[in-house]
Amino acid sequence: MKIAVLVKQIPAPVEFRMHEGRLVRDGVPLEVNAYCRRANAKAVELAGADGEVVVFTMGPPAAADALREMIACGAHRGVHLSDPAFAGSDTLA
């Protein structure tokens, strides 16, 4: 069984800032959303020994850290979607 998990980094709660409807990421520490961590853990459990868990994230280059964290927690591979055309779209997610 193949399971896809969507992972999102969020600003640390103590450092949330916005400007013109967009998140200000400069200097703001990011962390993987707690719900995404739980989804990854459950997917790894459900996949078992024969399955595969693929994590997906969208964001700036630093978002790849979220994929590495989820792979360290048992996911098999990650896919990072990053393009200037996506700028600001994570605010809507």
Query: pLDDT tens digits, residue range 21-40?
Result: 666 666 777 889 899 999 99
pTM, 2 dp: 0.77
User: Which pLDDT band holds residue 16 (cuts at 50, 70, 90)?
Assistant: low
Which residue segment(s) compose the domain that 18 sits in?
Answer: 2-91
Q: In whole angstroms, what is the distance from residue 43 CA to residue 13 CA?
A: 26
Q: How confident is the model over 13-22, as a mean pLDDT?
A: 61
At CA 74, angle to CA 73 and CA 76, rounded to 5? 130
- pLDDT, residue 85, reads 82
Q: Domain count for the chain, please give it.
A: 1
Query: pLDDT tens digits, residue range 54-86?
Result: 999 988 888 899 999 999 999 999 999 988 887
Q: In whole angstroms, what is the distance from residue 52 CA to residue 70 CA?
A: 13
pLDDT at 10 over 90: no
